[in-house]
Amino acid sequence: MELKKIILSGLLLSSSLFASVHYAHWGYTGVDDPAHWGDLNPKYAECKLGGSQSPINITKDITVTTQGLAPIDFHYTTSASEIINNGHSVQVNVKPGSYIKIDGKVFELKQFHFHTPSENHIDGKSFPLEAHFVHQAKDGSLAVVAVMFEDGKENPVINKIWNKMPKKVGEKVKSSLSVAMINELLPKKKTYYRFDGSLTTPPCSEGVRWFVLKNYSTVSKKEVTEFLHKLHHPNNRPIQPIDARKVLQ
C-alpha cells in the first residue's frame, strides 16, 4: 500500500485519497530542479539512483522490431470531470469507466496532463508539447500513453482545455470536455514505441509501462506559448540514461 501511495502521489496530485501524504517541494527551476530531486527527500532517491528512468530519447540503435506486438486496445468512453492547475502541469481528470487493455490487463484512465517542451524525444527530436495519459490497473501498476504534438494548426481540443485552465496553483474547475474530444487528442493511427520506465516527476518510481505513439497531433505556437505563460517555466524533465533497456516497436 505504501508503494501505491508513493506512485500515485507523483501522478494523481489532485486526489483527495492521498491528501494526508506530504512530500517535499520540487520544481523545474532553481534548487528544486530535476538535478536536485533525488536529494530533496529520501523518498525521491530513485530519481538519482534508478536504472530505468523516464523520459528517454528513442533512437534507432536502441529500438527492436518485435513481431506480434499487440495493439493497445483503447476504450475511452467517459468525459472529463475537472481541470486542475497542480503547480507542475495542467491536469484533466477523467470520470471512471475509460480504460486501455494491454498485456491481458485493464488499466483505467485516471487523468492526462501536459509538458512543454516534450519530455521524451524521438531520434533526438524534441516536440513543443507532449500529453501523458495516465492509467492504473487494479493491482496498482501504471501505464502511460504519450502523445506528441508538433507545430501546426491550432488544436481545437487543446484550445478548449486552455480556455478553462485555472490560473492559480491548486485551483480546479469543472470540465465539460466530452469523450469525443478526449479521443480527438489521440492520432488515428496508434502504433507505438514501448519501454519500461518511471514516473517523470518525484518520486520517480519505476515499473511504469510506457507507450509513446509514433504518430503526432498538432498544436499552434500560440497555444504552446499560452501554456508556458500559465506555468511561468518549462515543465519537462531532462532525458535520462537508457542503460541496458531496449525500446520495442
Q: Give pLDDT tens digits for 98-156.
A: 999 999 999 999 999 999 999 999 999 999 999 999 999 999 999 999 999 999 999 99
Query: What does each C-alpha distance from 98 to 72, 93, 183, 213 come to in angstroms?
Result: 13, 11, 11, 18
Cell 477523467 appears where?
94
Instruction: Please tell me which residue in 25, 36, 75, 88 is annotated as part of the active site.
Output: 88
pTM above the 0.75 mark? yes
**CA atoms 118, 210, 204, 164: torsion sign:** positive
DSSP 8-class letter at 4: H
Average pLDDT, the chain: 91
Specify the higher pLDDT residue, 16 or 176. Answer: 176
Average pLDDT rounded to a whole number, residues 12-21: 32
194-115-230 Cα angle (round to 5)? 170
Q: What number of residues does the chain have? A: 249
Task: Tell me how far apart the alpha carbons of residues 240 and 219 are, in angstroms, rounded to a whole number.
Answer: 26
The fraction of the chain above a pLDDT of 90, given in percent, is 88
Map residue 225 onto helix, strand or coil.
Answer: helix
C-alpha cell at 235: 515543465
Tell me the pairing of strands 105-115 and 172-174: unpaired
Average pLDDT rounded to a whole number, residues 14-24: 37
Looking at the predicted structure, is the pLDDT value of residue 2 above 50? no
**DSSP labels, 93-127:** EE-TT-EEEETTEEEEEEEEEEESS-SSEETTB--
pLDDT in tens, 213-239: 999 999 999 999 999 999 999 999 999
Nearest-10 crossing angle of helices 221-231, 156-164? 20
Q: What amino acid is encoded at 196 in this protein?
A: D
Which band of pLDDT confidence, cut at 50, 70 and 90, is reported for residue 67? confident
**Fold for domain 2-248?**
Carbonic Anhydrase II (3.10.200)
Instruction: Provide the b/e sequence for 116-142 (b: ≥16 CB within 10 Å).
Output: bebbbbbeeebbbbbbbbbbbbeeebb
Specify the higher pLDDT residue, 4 or 131. Answer: 131
Map residue 238 onto helix, strand or coil.
Answer: coil
Tell me the pairing of strands 121-122 and 57-58: parallel
Which band of pLDDT confidence, cut at 50, 70 and 90, is reported for residue 23? low
* Phi, psi of 196, deg, nearest 5: -90, 135
Residues 156, 20: contact at Cβ < 8 Å?
A: no
Active site (annotated) includes residue 88: yes
pLDDT in tens, 36-48: 999 999 999 999 9
Looking at the predicted structure, is the pLDDT value of residue 10 above 70? no
Looking at the predicted structure, is the pLDDT value of residue 81 above 80? yes
Task: Tell me how far apart the alpha carbons of residues 82 and 213 are, in angstroms, rounded to a whole number.
Answer: 25
- What per-residue confidence (pLDDT) applies to 15? 32
Specify the higher pLDDT residue, 185 or 2. Answer: 185
Rg (C-alpha) for the chain, rounded Å, is 17
- What per-residue confidence (pLDDT) applies to 134? 98
